Structure 1
Amino acid sequence: MIIERQEQVTDAVLAAMSDTGNPRLAVIMNSLVRHLHDFVREVQLTEPEFEQAIGAVVALGQLTTATHNEVVLAADVIGLSTLVCLMNNGPAGNTETAAALLGPFWRMNSPVTRNGDSIVRSPTPGENLAVRCAVRDVNGAPVAGAVVDVWQASPVGMYENQDPDQADMNLRGQFTTDAEGRFWFSSVKPAGYPVPTHGIVGTLLAAQKRAPLRPAHIHFLIYKPGFKTLVSQIFVDDEQQLQSDVVFGVTRSLVGKLDRGADGLSLAHDFVLAPGEAILPTPPIS
């Protein structure tokens, strides 16, 4: 098609893609083109703004390394990651545990750890935290033999791959549920933290006058064939940032209650797995 006016561009692109062999790809790309073109028309995007947007996309890729994923972070802070997560993991009120973001800091092959052991692998000052959990199916039966990956930030609000003072794989561990579906470990109380702001995401948050803060939490990834892989987080209930999580990831049912005793803090939580396909996500960092 020879273009005579801007209104014809969208139809020309859709026509050019009409022979797409994959039906799902055709649906996604047709909708993407229509919405993106409509967005450009709605905001009357200027050429300098378009160039700036292209530069931002390029920078997202350039800033993504083996230890930092700026693309995932960008999707997180505009709520896109949470939206996709909640859309694909059942409506509120389902019997399975609510899903939460994988986030940009999950690493494959965290250390296999025995139940009851600590995930503190280098000097990490902070309040002692005992975590006791159970994994059940939707009927309440224990799920034995589930692999549970755990990771968290330190009391200074940094994951070990961000902090040269922490040992590799500090505050990470991989557990297996026992015959009663239980797993347990010791750690230190995590802290809330700012998401990385050295790149495009930080510039955007500053322009929007948004605090880059996440409330304290512990990540859990639970995997067993026959069950849908659960990626979730448990949030600390005394955090001010629960109401203003920069990535919009706090679900009410995932706010855990810390109990304080003579030996330190404790946290108990039960996870419920739904039947489905067990698939591990692609690690955002190595």
Structure 2
Amino acid sequence: MPSNLTEETITEVVQRTFDASTNDRFREVFVSLVQHLHDFARDVRLTGDEWFTAMDFIERLGKISSPTRQEVVLLSDILGLSMLLDTMNESPGGSATDSALLGPFYVEGRPTVDNGADISNGVAGTPMFVTGRVVNEQGKPIAGAHVDTWHSDGEGFYDVQMTEPLHNEFAMRALLTTDDGGRFWYRSITPRYYPVPTDGPCGEIMRAANRSIMRPQHVHFWFHAQGYHSLITQLFLKDDPYIGRDAVFADQTSLQADFVHHGPGTAPDGTLVDEPFVTLDWTFTLAADTGQ
């Protein structure tokens, strides 16, 4: 290895250390990564003190992260990288419903319920009745599709953040299956907008940038059906005060929906509700998996 490295020559020298790798994709990724990292350092004239600050930041990302606090995921989200990757890799195009971020609050082991179930698990809030239909790009119903759904409560908290009142039980999340008409439906409570966590390293970025920390009101969905691309998406209240300022850039226009408010009366499932409630109805389109 040459000892007379300069600002102009060190990048190529480092890149050549990957030449012996037998993994073509590994070599491609790291050669490009080195190029962009070095170009970035040269472009902003990065100082040693700034780099030590960055390494401390990265260390603190790991220390604050936990199964219910994914600070590294949050960093990817607030820098727009998550949505970039989602757009590049998850959106099949055509007439399929646009995808959106999985987010840090999806968890395994959620309960499997029948259509029509109340998935709120007793959490107080304004009743919400969700009705959906899953179809292919020709508009034909997809029966037997698995539908994961989850959302916050009326104060903006998810069940994994509510360990004291819920005692680690699930709420406002479930797995359903579409019927022969591609339909699914359930009862829950109405979610609310909420801030992303700001008490960690990512909060420092948000404050320094003086940017919105809020996520508009939304409900998460994840669809799986044999012969189709899986779809991870969200539906947003189109009149939410934070639409257009989503901290993680997921609130695209095609996913903005009406959360319709009703007075006491008959809900979509035929039950009588003696208090105001909200309805949300949407048709989700899945793209066929052609194997290409």
TM bin, normalised by shorter chain, reads over 0.9
Report deviation, 1:41. 0.5
Residue pairs, 1:165-184, within 5 angstroms: 165-166=165-166, 168-184=169-185
Matching residue of 1:202:
203
Q: Deviations over 1:36-79 (max 9, x none)?
A: 10000011111110001111111111111121110000000011
Matching residue of 1:61:
62
Taking the aligned partners of 2:290 and 2:145, their CA distance within structure 1 comes to 14
Aligned residues: 276
Counterpart secondary structure, 2:202: helix
Instruction: Tell whether the 8 Å contact from 2:218 to 2:236 is kept in structure 1 after alignment.
Output: yes
Gapped regions of structure 1 (runs ≥ 5): 279-286
1:213 aligns with 2:214: yes
The Cα RMSD (Å) is: 1.5
Residue pairs, 1:247-286, within 5 angstroms: 247-262=248-263, 263=265, 264-276=277-289
Q: Deviations over 1:128-170 (max 9, x none)?
A: 1111000011111111111111000110001111123245211
Q: Deviations over 1:5-50 (max 9, x none)?
A: 2322111111111122222222211111101100000111111100
Report deviation, 1:91. 7.1
Matching residue of 2:107:
107
Matching residue of 2:90:
89
Q: Deviations over 1:221-274 (max 9, x none)?
A: 011222111000000122011110000111111001122223421111011111
Taking the aligned partners of 2:26 and 2:288, their CA distance within structure 1 comes to 27
TM-score, with structure 1 as normaliser: 0.93
TM-score, with structure 2 as normaliser: 0.91
Taking the aligned partners of 2:92 and 2:179, their CA distance within structure 1 comes to 30
Q: Deviations over 1:181-224 (max 9, x none)?
A: 10000111100000111110011111111121000000000112
Matched letter for residue 241 of structure 2: Q
Matching residue of 2:268:
none
Taking the aligned partners of 2:199 and 2:222, their CA distance within structure 1 comes to 28
Report deviation, 1:277. 8.3
Taking the aligned partners of 2:127 and 2:251, their CA distance within structure 1 comes to 24
Matching residue of 1:131:
130
Instruction: Tell whether the 8 Å contact from 1:118 to 1:186 is kept in structure 2 after alignment.
Output: yes
Mark the structure with the bigger radius of gyration: 2
